[in-house]
Amino acid sequence: MEHFEWTTDLDTGNDEIDGQHRSLFSLANALQDAVGSEDAEADAVADCVWRLTDYVVQHFADEEEMMEAAGYPELSVHRSLHQQLTGETLRLAARFMNDEPLTAAELGPYVAHWLREHIGHADKRFVAYLVTKS
């Protein structure tokens, strides 16, 4: 089973953001494990789905608050990316709650892609902006 590993190339240089990103990786791995388990229990998967969903929403709100406070000129674009990612995360949660199965094979690539792409590009661009403002 694929696990999502934090690698140093994902470090943004902002301790708060990096800590939250590491927590996202941990929650994604817990969900991947729960879904991929041979004896996957619905309660365990549901717990992981909701913990990840809640954390995604909170993390994005925290980032957007930081961006607003810093006067980040790309806030509206970044917020739009967050809305897309949140929407997809909520769609996965709704599918699960409607008793549609989630498989590790479909979940893994989605989570891995958005974690790596969003952090590696959009979030790093924001932190670079913060550094220039200092």
Q: Of the candidates 105, 111, 92, which has an alpha carbon nearest to the alpha carbon of residue 45?
A: 92
What's the pTM value of the predicted model, to 2 decimals?
0.85
| Overall number of domains in the chain | 1
- Is position 24 within any domain? no
Amino acid at 113: H
Q: How far apart, in Å, are the Cα atoms of 51 and each of 27, 31, 58, 71, 106?
A: 7, 9, 11, 30, 19
Residues contacting 9, CB < 8 A, separation 6+: 120
Query: Across 33-37, 41-45, 86-90, which has the greatest mean pLDDT?
Result: 86-90
CA–CA dist 23, 34 (Å, integer): 16
Contact 40, 96 (CB under 8 A): no
The reply to whether 80 falls in a domain is: yes
In this structure, is the dihedral angle defined by the CA atoms of residues 36, 9, 113 and 20, taken in order, positive or negative? Answer: positive
Residue 13 within any structural domain of the chain: no
Identify the pLDDT of residue 102: 67
Higher pLDDT, 32 or 130: 130
Domain presence at residue 6: no
Instruction: Say what the pLDDT of residue 114 is.
Output: 78
Structure tokens at 38: 């041979």
Instruction: Give the structural domain span for 77.
Output: 47-134
Determine, yes or no, domain membership for 29.
no
Q: Is residue 36 part of a domain?
A: no
CB burial readout 52-72, b (16+ within 10 A) else e = bbebbeebbeebbebbeeeeb
Residue 127 lies in a domain: yes
For residue 67, name the pLDDT band (cuts at 50, 70, 90): very high
Alpha-carbon gap, residue 3 to 18, rounded angstroms: 18
